[in-house]
Amino acid sequence: MLSGILSIAAAAVLVGIDQLLKVWATANLQPIGTMTLIPHVVELRYSLNEGMAFSLLWGKQGFLIAVTSVALIVLLGYLLLRKPPLLERIAWTLVLGGGVGNLIDRIASGQVVDYINFLFVDFAIFNFADICVTVGVALLFVCVLWGELGDRKKKPSGEEHTTDADT
């Protein structure tokens, strides 16, 4: 239970950072549009997104709010009631923090504030919450791969996988 509370506290810190960055972007970037960070590499560009990643489901705010809310409630319960391994817990904490950060925007204004724009590649403008979700999901893939590799290492070579139905 304590690890769940710590995960939720860490997610709350991520949400706070995300919301502060979005307030800063709105106050400082909205009036000017863009600010170069590294010429020809990355700029800060104020943008509003009514969809999810890559503007998918544009204008479907009710649906996005409902699905995201249910998923985050389930994730919150999982973190409180289970004790996953540390790397998995970190991954889910990042997903929770990023998901809540963008959900706040959707509920408050129907749009998510984005502000990071890579210039060297044709890519969507994104924000800190998006980074949290993306890194969290990438860590979950690592957890799955390590789990799969760990399972293979535990089995003696030549032993085939059987299920209860096979015995």
Q: Which of 66-70, 80-84, 147-151 has the lowest mean pLDDT?
A: 147-151
In a domain, 115, yes or no: yes
pLDDT exceeds 90 at position 26: yes
How far is the C-alpha of 145 from the C-alpha of 97, rounded, in Å?
A: 23
Across the range 18-43, mean pLDDT stands at 95
In a domain, 127, yes or no: yes
28-64: buried (b, 16+ CB within 10 Å) or exposed (e) per residue?
ebeeeeeeeeeeeeebbbbbebbbbeeeeeeeebeeb
Across the range 138-146, mean pLDDT stands at 93
In a domain, 148, yes or no: yes
Q: Which of 76-85, 103-112, 152-161 has the lowest mean pLDDT?
A: 152-161
In 3D, which of 104, 78, 80, 91 has the Cα closest to residue 18?
A: 104
Give me the torsion for CA of 35, 38, 42, 44, rounded to 10°. Answer: -20
pLDDT band of 77, cuts 50, 70, 90 = very high
Q: What pLDDT sits at residue 2? A: 84
In a domain, 165, yes or no: no
Count up the domains in the chain and report the number.
1
In a domain, 114, yes or no: yes
Strand partners, 35: 44
pLDDT band of 81, cuts 50, 70, 90 = very high
Among candidate residues 18, 105, 114, 151, the one labeled active-site is 114
* Arithmetic mean of pLDDT over the chain: 88
In a domain, 63, yes or no: yes
- Which residues, other chains included, contact 14 with Cβ-Cβ below 8 Å and sequence gap of 6+? 93, 94, 97, 98, 101, 128, 129, 132
Domain containing 113 equals 2-153
pLDDT exceeds 60 at position 68: yes
In a domain, 83, yes or no: yes
pLDDT band of 100, cuts 50, 70, 90 = very high
Among candidate residues 122, 130, 151, 164, the one labeled active-site is 130
pLDDT band of 16, cuts 50, 70, 90 = very high
Q: What pLDDT sits at residue 159? A: 52
Share of the chain above pLDDT 70, in %: 85
Among this protein's residues, is 130 annotated catalytic? yes
In a domain, 98, yes or no: yes
Across the range 95-113, mean pLDDT stands at 94
Q: What pLDDT sits at residue 1? A: 78
